[in-house]
Copies of this chain bind each other. A is one copy, B any other.
Amino acid sequence: MYDVAERSGVSIATVSRVYRNPDSVRAQTRERVLEAARELGYVPSGNARGLASRTTGVLGLCFPDYADPDAEADAENDSGADDAAMLYSDQIIRGMERAARRHGYALLIAASLQGGPESLVAKVAGRVDGFAVLAQTVPTEDLEVISRRLPVVMLAGPREIDHLDHLVVANAAGERELTRHLIEDHGLRRLAFVGGDPDSPDAEARFRGFREACGDAGLPVPEAPDLRTGMMTRAEGARAAETLLDRGGERPDAMVFANDQMAVGALRALERREVRVPEDMAVTGFDGIPLSRIVRPSLTTVRQPIRQLGEQAVELLVQRLADPSREPVSLELPVSLARRASCGCG
């Protein structure tokens, strides 16, 4: 910047003004400065700018590291063991990037590794004006500290820190509505719920919704999912479907999966076993991923507005940046039931 100032015969203040507030500089002077900047290959330092102005123009996102980065990514394996988590994060990233851009922010993303003062989380926190955190990616105590200095919004999961803005989708309500549909509209009675990791708040909330619907309908309310898988992937879903088929006792007439990936895997498995869907068995998912529309039979599911989750997160951050004293909010984004072929609709 000093070089640019010298070369164009002005002071550094003028150079700064050319970038910060072009109208306050005479057009002729401005041109001289820009010309010099071009010749010198001048790139304003975001660091210095941020330091002086106490703002970065960047928002952040911490999400779980969906895969070991050291694991060899073999080209042949496109089965996507970690598809579920990745799709989820991708959508949030998209949503946030969009909304951030609309507000003139860039987006800094980092999958959180283990904590410690020199973790990526700390790096993100130090370089942004505010950021969003996917549940269970950052230790609560770190968040506690960081959130005293800048806006943080928590996505999904329980609201661990009550002075933070918090955003969830209506997992329970959605699953409840879906289950009600199966019971009341299709007359199904023997529903099997396939959950995921007990640590997944989303999956657990969905199970809660499932239970509520069972209770509403006067059906027995299960204590725990009929089956839990670890990964919530297609492969696990397929295995779960087979396990349920092979189990003794009366065969269920519907399999309710905690997400779409598993449900899609189940559809394949049922096809192999020559169990007709939906005639012999209804199958449902949760999420509304693109694939759910494309598989045959198309999958009845609950559309989750993941991208909006990201967009809304940015909105909350921007709001709080504008008014730091605003009361913390906890929003639940609505979901919508997609009735399709796999439950007997459409």
Q: A100-134 CB contact bits vs B (8 Å, 1 = yes)?
A: 01101011111101000110101111110000000
A-B contact pairs, 22 of them (CB 8 A): A18-B117, A38-B145, A43-B145, A43-B149, A43-B150, A45-B126, A46-B125, A46-B127, A47-B50, A73-B98, A73-B307, A73-B311, A75-B308, A80-B290, A90-B90, A93-B93, A98-B111, A106-B124, A108-B108, A109-B109, A291-B291, A294-B294
**A142 CB → nearest B CB, Å:** 10
Q: A234-246 CB contact bits vs B (8 Å, 1 = yes)?
A: 0000000000000
> How many chain A residues have a CB neighbour from B under 8 Å?
73
A293 within 8 A of B: yes
**A232 CB → nearest B CB, Å:** 16
Chain A, range 50-84, C-beta contacts under 8 Å to B: 50-51, 56-58, 65, 67, 69-70, 73, 75, 78, 80, 83
Considering the complex, give the chain B residue whose CB is closest to the CB of A311. Answer: B73
Whether A97 lies near B126 (C-beta < 8 A) is: no
Beyond A75-B336, A108-B109, list 11 extra A-B contacts (CB 8 Å): A37-B145, A41-B145, A42-B149, A43-B146, A50-B127, A70-B102, A73-B98, A78-B290, A101-B111, A106-B108, A294-B295
Q: Which residues of B contact A109 (CB under 8 A)?
A: 93, 97, 106-109
How far is B41's CA from A45's CA once the two chains are assembled, in angstroms?
A: 27
Q: Which residues of A contact B (CB under 8 A)?
A: 18-19, 34, 37-38, 41-51, 56-58, 65, 67, 69-70, 73, 75, 78, 80, 83, 86, 90, 93-94, 97-99, 101-102, 104, 106-111, 113, 117-118, 120, 122-127, 145-146, 148-150, 264, 288, 290-291, 293-296, 303, 305, 307-308, 311, 336
